[in-house]
């Protein structure tokens, strides 16, 4: 990890566009050379993220995802800048668009919805528990495959994902009203059917799965 002086940080973010920010400041910046700078704030004073920063989790998770055949970013640089008290990562933009944007701008969403359901099943099959799973964190790449960004909060499980974890994933996907509307148009039950067709949920549990998600 590189330690960046305030001056080096200013150089890094010179001439960038802010993609995402919140009340604490900038979160994601895009450079003219199509590199993305993502910043992580330590939320609490005493936090695991002091010894195991989100930037490191992010880059390890991204690397492991790629190894498992799930496209994700390739981190080039990790840094800490004391003067802004932020950890950060730098990676080339993953080409593509978020599913949120793609689905909103498309009259016929069926294919993409089905692909998404299969993709979630694939993640679960690979025992990947991506807690930030939502339409803004999934991209469709130019070759049509789906990939993940924003991967700091992700776990590679040793055991198959529990029903509770799967449920949490679906709930998270449906949390934002504008996203939920897209799933409702396609049919939430229908979406779950497609997921179950591709997932390795035990047969006897499949029946209750719909109620578990919807209930």
Ligand X SMILES: Nc1ncnc2c1ncn2[C@@H]1O[C@H](COP(=O)(O)OP(=O)(O)OP(=O)(O)O)[C@@H](O)[C@H]1O
Part of the chain binding ligand X (CB under 6 A), chosen from 77-85, 116-124, 130-138, 177-185: 130-138
Candidates 82-90, 135-143, 176-184, 186-194; binding stretch for ligand X (CB under 6 A): 135-143
Choose from ligand X, Mg ion, none: what does 20 bind? Cβ within 5-8 Å by kind.
Answer: ligand X
190 binds ligand X (CB under 6 A): no
Query: Distance between CA 78 and CA 55 in Å, rounded?
Result: 7
Q: What are phi and psi for residue 22, nearest 5 degrees?
A: -135, -170
Residue partners of 87: CB distance under 8 A and separation at least 6: 1, 39, 40, 42, 49, 53, 54, 55, 56, 78, 79, 80
Measured CA to CA, the distance from residue 151 to residue 203 in angstroms comes to 30
* Binding flag, residue 36, Mg ion (CB under 5 A): no
Stretch of residues binding ligand X (CB under 6 A), selected from 80-88, 129-137, 156-164, 194-202: 129-137
Kindly tell me which residue out of 16, 42, 77, 98 binds ligand X, with binding defined by CB under 6 A: 98
87 forms part of the interface with ligand X (CB under 6 A): no
**Applying CB under 6 A, does 166 fall inside the site for ligand X?**
no
- Write out the two tokens for 174: 């449906």
Which one of 72, 137, 140, 169 is in contact with Mg ion (CB under 5 A)?
A: 137
* Contacted entry of ligand X, Mg ion, none for residue 73, CB cut-off 5 to 8 Å set by kind: ligand X
d(Cα 8, Cα 197) in Å, to the nearest integer?
51
Tell me the C-alpha distance between 19 and 16, whole Å: 9
User: Using CA atoms, how far apart are residues 47 and 43, in angstroms rounded to an integer?
Assistant: 7
Give the DSSP H or E segment for 94.
none
Query: Does the protein bind ligand X through residue 136 (CB under 6 A)?
Result: yes
Q: Is 93 in the site for ligand X (CB under 6 A)?
A: yes
150 binds Mg ion (CB under 5 A): yes
Tell me the closest approach of the beta carbon of residue 136 to ligand X, in angstroms. 4
Query: Residue numbers of the site for Mg ion (CB under 5 A)?
Result: 136-137, 150
């Amino acid at each position: 990890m590189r330690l960046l002086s305030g001056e080096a940080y200013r150089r890094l973010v010179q001439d960038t566009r802010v993609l995402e920010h919140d009340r604490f400041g900038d979160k994601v910046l895009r450079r003219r050379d199509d590199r993305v700078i993502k910043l992580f704030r330590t939320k609490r004073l005493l936090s695991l993220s002091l010894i195991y920063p989100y930037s490191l989790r992010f880059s390890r998770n991204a690397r492991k995802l790629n190894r498992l055949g799930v496209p994700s970013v390739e981190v080039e640089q990790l840094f800490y800048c004391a003067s802004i008290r932020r950890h950060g990562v730098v990676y080339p933009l993953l080409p593509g668009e978020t599913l949120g944007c793609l689905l909103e701008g498309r009259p016929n969403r069926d294919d993409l919805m089905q692909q998404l359901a299969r993709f979630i099943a694939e993640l679960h099959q690979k025992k990947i528990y991506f807690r930030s799973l939502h339409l803004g964190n999934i991209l469709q790449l130019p070759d049509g495959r789906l990939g993940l960004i924003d991967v700091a909060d992700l776990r590679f499980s040793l055991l198959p994902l529990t029903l509770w974890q799967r449920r949490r994933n679906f709930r998270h996907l449906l949390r934002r009203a504008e996203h939920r509307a897209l799933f409702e148009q396609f049919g939430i039950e229908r979406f779950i059917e497609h997921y179950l067709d591709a997932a390795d949920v035990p047969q006897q549990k499949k029946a209750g799965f719909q109620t578990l998600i919807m209930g």
